[in-house]
Structure formats: C-alpha cells, structure tokens
Amino acid sequence: MSGYLTTHILDTAKGCPAEGVKIDLFRLEGDQRIHLKSLYTNSDGRTDTPILPKDKFQTGVYELVFHAGDYTMHTIGADRTELFLDLVPIQFNMSMGVHYHVPLLLSPFAYSTYRGS
C-alpha cells in the first residue's frame, strides 16, 4: 500500500479553519531541498487534494512550509513588520507507506503540530 500526505490548519485565535494558507512541499535529499508543489487551504482548512498523493509517495525526509504571515496579514490586517510568525517550516520523516497527516494549530503568536491520523 502506498502512503499519502495531508494537512489541516486550524486558526486557534479565531476558532475556525484557516482558509487561503499557502503551503509549499519540499523533499530533502542530503543538502538538496527540492520544491515539489505549492497548494492553498480551502474553507475547511485542508487542501482539495492530498499534498502528496499515493502515486507520488516515497519514503524520505520532507518539509512543509506554511505561509502563516501572509495569512495573518490577510485575516487581521497586520503589517509585515508587526508579524511574529512568518514562515512555519515543519520537517518530518515518512518511513513507511501509510497515511501521514501533519496538522497545524495556528495563531498570530504561536503554533503547534503533531502526527495526526
């Protein structure tokens, strides 16, 4: 069975899904950081398709970069100089062919993540 990768972003300050957050996916191979794709979250805080679908799945080290600053500027009208968080990078290892879910709980001044299901 091939694995796949998804995410879900919740805006904990507003108590709702974070819509319109840009996400970049990278594969890390030694010193190389290879950009695989960019996506945006929908009204449910998820991407419309898996970030990494089953037919593209490979084990290895990956990085999701969440564009939290752009989202914060859009939702609360902050200026870039007022931001605490801008880019939120999360590096992780996918070592077997299962569903990997990397949720992000986001506010203007903090974030957390975990291996979801």
What is the domain count for the chain?
1
Taking only the tens place, the pLDDT of each residue in 72-108 is 998 888 788 888 999 999 999 999 889 999 999 999 9
Best CA proximity match to 112, nearest among 4, 28, 14, 12:
12
Decide if pLDDT at 1 tops 60: no
Mean pLDDT (whole number) for 21-34: 97
Per-residue model confidence (pLDDT) at position 40: 98
Q: Residue 30: which residues within 8 A CB-CB, separation 6 or more?
A: none
**Continuous H helices in 1-117:** 68-76
Residue at 91: amino acid letter = Q
**What are the distances in angstroms from CA 66 to CA 9, 45, 71, 97, 106?**
9, 12, 9, 24, 10
pTM tops 0.85: yes
Name the β-bridge partners of 92: 62
Please check whether residue 39 is in contact with residue 47, taking contact to mean a CB–CB distance below 8 angstroms.
yes
Q: How far apart are CA 17 and CA 27, in angstroms?
A: 26
Q: Output the domain CATH number for residue 68.
A: 2.60.40.180
For residue 101, count other CB atoms closer than 10 A to its CB. Answer: 17
How many Å apart are CA 84 and CA 95, to the nearest integer?
33
77: left (phi over 0), alpha (psi -120 to 50) or beta: left
Domain span at residue 62 reads: 4-113
